[in-house]
Amino acid sequence: MNLRYATVALYTLTRREVLRFARIWIQTMLPPAVTTVLYFVIFGKLIGSQIGPIDGHSYIEYIIPGLILMSVITNAYANVVASFYSSKFHGNIEEMLISPMPAYIILAGFIIGGVLRGLLVGGVVFGVSLFFGHLPYPDIGLTLLMLLMTAALFSMAGLINGVYAKSFDGISIIPTFVLTPLTYLGGIFYSLEMLPDFWRGVSLLNPIFYMINVFREGALGSSDIGAGLAIGITALFLAAFTAVCLYLLDRGVGIRT
Amino acid sequence: MTTALEISQLHKVYANGHVALKGIDLHVEHGDFFALLGPNGAGKSTTIGIVTSLINKTGGSISVYGHDIHRNPSQAKTHIGLVPQEYSFNQFEPVEEILINQAGYYGVPPREAKRRAREHLTQLGLWEKRANQARNLSGGMKRRLMMARALLHRPKLLILDEPTAGVDIEIRRMIWEFLTDLNRSGTTIILTTHYLEEAEKLCRNIAIIDDGQIIADSPMRSLLERLESESFTLYLREPLAEAPKLRSAQLRSIDSRTLELVTDKHTDLGEVFSELQAHNIKLLSLRNTSNRLEELFLKMVSPEQDINPS
Ligand SMILES: Nc1ncnc2c1ncn2[C@@H]1O[C@H](COP(=O)(O)OP(=O)(O)OP(=O)(O)O)[C@@H](O)[C@H]1O
Ligand SMILES: [Mg+2]
């Protein structure tokens, strides 16, 4: 395993992933742009105008960071689960399995693909958000760090889903029944203080809540929780998911008989 | 001599409990052209799958050019090129894209991959199709696409699982020629096939696998020598009511103008012809119809079956 080999292999995987989602941009890039415009208009402008400021920010400004991060999460996940499952479905996962690429290169390729799609769509949503409000971004470093960690984490989650999926249903169950509820309940639309005690406790069990809060702290300068704790929790998840993904790929779970 | 592939005591039990391989041993030298024959379900694809890391083994060991596929998977894998039995490319990817990606997985940089893709696509008559999505190729073209794909990283050992299944005669000849040239220029080739003529024409060594076990493994020539009979179809000038009994061979009537002649390996054909003449049988033409390998095959896989009708 030399560096030159790793570079070529990783470049190839990345290029393949990007070409894949670029080829089907109407399915991959356009819908998130459309939905977020709707969110901004309906929740931000129409309903938001009825809600007073949160932490000194107008409601629409308050929800912009969460909406950006939500689109990053959804798209990073969707990209990897779809790409991985379709390569199982078409059989071209074998092209990777017979090649000398070790599991960590294959994993890195899928993560880069997911992160790039997440960032691109996140960028589109950010672009749209500029029509609705300008955020101060007092800690851009923190925002970017959280963005990358979250995108990588949900790329791996998508991969794990893809490994176990046995049908096209199998790739939409988790996003619909787990991921969407977790993001909606992750504090995109409200601050902890607005919740009754019980729901406040439930929110604290949701990992996405921490990510959105830290991301928002970087963007707005205010948060419900400390950044250090949230980064620590995300890093722990990252480490655990990396280990699980490497194990699954190495063992060939769901792909080798 | 370098050993290209060494398989010892390979066992495979599938998750559903099916025992597919019951202790396979195989040895293939560098430069060989090796045939792996066996009926449907014998375990050919399972063996190939394990060698190429697509299937997990249950027991045994495999090394490719001296690299154990478990201890040094990356080194072992760089030496192998695989043309699988089933299509294993993304049908929606363009032909050239498929090749360049596969090359990249082996560390061949894009520019060089493009050059090699052009070379192989041209050799295999697919260059015009390079921009097409793979699903728009015909079955024979898809097979050739997989051959090109297997060669981009210049493997020393090329494994083909039924490369000419569903391919027309002309393309089959082209593939045979291509493989022969490739073998001459130093690539070790292992292939499985149901076209027994193919193995006989191309391969120097042959192993027969049945029900997960190797039941024959020897040079092609010495295996063929074990054949005892040869059969011919005789086309007659004049209709014949009944096939006469001959001393030197067996004769069987197929229809009034066609006979089947089965001779022993040691039979003097001159004697057979003079006997035919004595019975006043006039021949229009004759054709050797024995598929020798087929016969051999039947004999090996089902020893209780008598292939020399008496
Ligand atoms: N994934 C699997 N799970 C369970 N059994 C399997 C699986 N794959 C193959 N088998 C069984 O293992 C045996 C060997 O199959 P294999 O594909 O190796 O045969 P083959 O020699 O390649 O046959 P063919 O000439 O038809 O391609 C068969 O009985 C088959 O049913
Ligand atoms: Mg097979």
Sign of CA pseudo-dihedral B41, B44, B45, B47? positive
Cα Rg for chain B, rounded, in angstroms?
23
Smallest Cα distance from A99 to chain B, Å: 6
Q: Between A and B, how many residue pairs show a Cβ–Cβ distance under 8 A?
A: 86
Evaluate whether B300 touches B208 at the Cβ level (below 8 Å): yes
| C-alpha to C-alpha distance for B290 and A219, rounded to whole angstroms | 82
Distance from CA of B21 to the nearest CA of A (A): 14
Of chain B, the percentage scoring pLDDT greater than 90 comes to: 61
Q: Which of A92, A107, A256 to mutate to test the interface with B (most CBs of B within 10 A)?
A: A92
* Residue whose CA lies nearest to ligand 1 atom number 1: A257
Q: Residue B281 in 3-state DSSP?
A: coil
The whole-angstrom separation of Cα B303 and Cα B298 is: 8
What pLDDT does B294 receive? 67
Residue having the nearest C-alpha atom to atom 3 of ligand 1: B14
Q: Given a cut of 80, is residue A165 above it in pLDDT?
A: yes
d(CA B180, CA A54): 76
pLDDT value at residue B291 = 63
Q: How many CA atoms lie less than 13 Å away from B256 in the CB half-sphere? A: 4
Q: Where in chain B is the domain with CATH 3.40.50.300?
A: 3-224
B77: chain A residues, CB-CB within 8 Å: 98-100
Could you tell me which chain A residue has the CA closest to the CA of B111?
A8
* DSSP H stretches of helix in chain A: 3-23, 25-28, 30-39, 59-90, 93-97, 103-129, 140-164, 173-174, 180-184, 197-204, 207-220, 227-251
Tell me the CA–centroid distance for residue B193 and ligand 2, in Å: 9
Q: Among partner residues B77, B88, B103, which is closest to A92 by beta-carbon distance?
A: B88
**DSSP category for residue B245:** P
Measured CA to CA, the distance from residue B259 to residue A46 in angstroms comes to 94
Is residue A243 situated within a structural domain? yes
- Over residues B103-125, the pLDDT tens digits come to 999 999 999 999 999 999 999 99
Q: Where in chain B is the domain with CATH 3.30.70.1560?
A: 229-289
Which residues of chain B are within 8 Å of residue A83 when distances are taken between CB atoms? none
pLDDT band, very low/low/confident/very high, at B305 (cuts 50, 70, 90): very low
**Residue B44 near ligand 1, beta carbon < 6 Å:** yes
Specify the pLDDT at position B54.
95
Mutate to test the pocket of ligand 1, among B26, B45, B195 (most ligand atoms within 8 A of CB): B45
Cα–Cα dist B187/A195, whole Å: 70
Say which residue the tokens 């205010």 belong to. Answer: A222
Give one DSSP letter per residue of B138-181, joined into a string: -HHHHHHHHHHHHHTT--SEEEEESTTTT--HHHHHHHHHHHHH
B211 Cα–ligand 1 center, Å: 10
Q: CB burial class (10 A; 0-12, 13-18, 19+) of residue A53? A: exposed
Residue A191 structural domain: 3-251
Q: Which residue has the tokens 């995108």?
A: A151
A108: closest CA of chain B, how far (Å)? 13
pLDDT band of residue B308 (cuts 50, 70, 90) is: very low
Question: Chain-wide mean pLDDT for chain A?
Answer: 90
Q: Is the model's pTM score more than 0.95?
A: no
CB contact under 8 A, B74 and A9: no
Distance B112 CA to ligand 2 centre (A): 33
Average pLDDT value for residue range B59-79: 95
Q: What's the fold here for domain B3-224?
A: Rossmann fold (3.40.50)
The alpha carbon of residue A239 is apart from the nearest alpha carbon of chain B, in Å, by 25
Q: Do A257 and B15 touch (CB under 8 A)?
A: yes
Element (H, E) at B23: strand B19-29
Summarised one tens digit per residue, pLDDT across range B229-287 is 778 889 999 888 888 888 888 888 888 889 988 887 778 888 888 998 888 888 899 88
If you take atom 18 of ligand 1, which residue's CA is the nearest one? B43
pLDDT tens string B16-34 = 999 999 999 999 999 999 9
Residue A256 lies in a domain: no
B259-288 exposure pattern, b = at least 16 Cβ within 10 A, e = fewer: bbbbbeeeeeeeebeebbeeeebeeeeeee
CA distances from A37 to A40, A42, A43, A59, A156 (A): 5, 9, 10, 15, 28
Q: Is the pLDDT assigned to residue B309 strictly greater than 50?
A: no
Which atom of ligand 1 has the smallest separation from the CA of B38? Answer: 21
pLDDT single digits (tens) A222-256: 777 778 888 999 999 999 999 999 999 999 888 88
Residues sharing a CB contact under 8 Å with residue B164, sequence separation 6 or more, in sequence order: B143, B171, B172, B175, B176, B193, B195, B198
Q: Give the residue among B21, B9, B16 at the shortest CA–CA distance from B212.
A: B21
Please answer whether residues A59 and A53 qualify as being in contact, where contact means their C-beta atoms are separated by less than 8 angstroms.
yes
Structure tokens at B271: 């004697």
End-to-end CA separation in angstroms for chain B: 45
What are the tokens at B140?
A: 């024979």
Q: Is pLDDT above 80 for A136? A: yes
Question: Are B235 and B260 spatial neighbours (Cβ–Cβ below 8 Å)?
Answer: no
The residue whose CB lies within 8 Å of the most ligand 1 atoms, and thus the one to mutate among B10, B11, B12, B18, is B18
How many C-beta neighbours within 10 Å does residue B44 have? 22
B14: Cβ below 6 Å to ligand 1?
Answer: yes
Q: Predicted ipTM? A: 0.89
Determine what percent of chain B is predicted with pLDDT higher than 70: 93
Name every residue whose Cβ is closer than 8 Å to that of residue A218 and which is 6 or more positions away in sequence.
Answer: A65, A137, A138, A139, A140, A141, A142, A143, A144, A145, A146
**Cα–Cα distance measured from residue A46 to residue A228, given in angstroms and rounded to the nearest whole number:** 35
Provide mean pLDDT across the span B177-204. Answer: 91
Q: What pLDDT is recorded for position A150?
A: 96
For residue B301 and ligand 1, the question of a CB distance below 6 A is answered with: no
Q: Is B193 in the pocket of ligand 1 (CB under 6 A)?
A: no
CATH, domain range B229-289: 3.30.70.1560
CA–CA dist A130, A67 (Å, integer): 13
Number of domains in chain A: 1
Is the distance from the beta carbon of residue A257 to the nearest atom of ligand 1 less than 6 Å? Answer: yes
* Cβ partners under 8 Å of residue B205, min gap 6: B28, B32, B33, B34, B35, B217, B218, B219, B220
Give the model's pLDDT for residue B111.
95
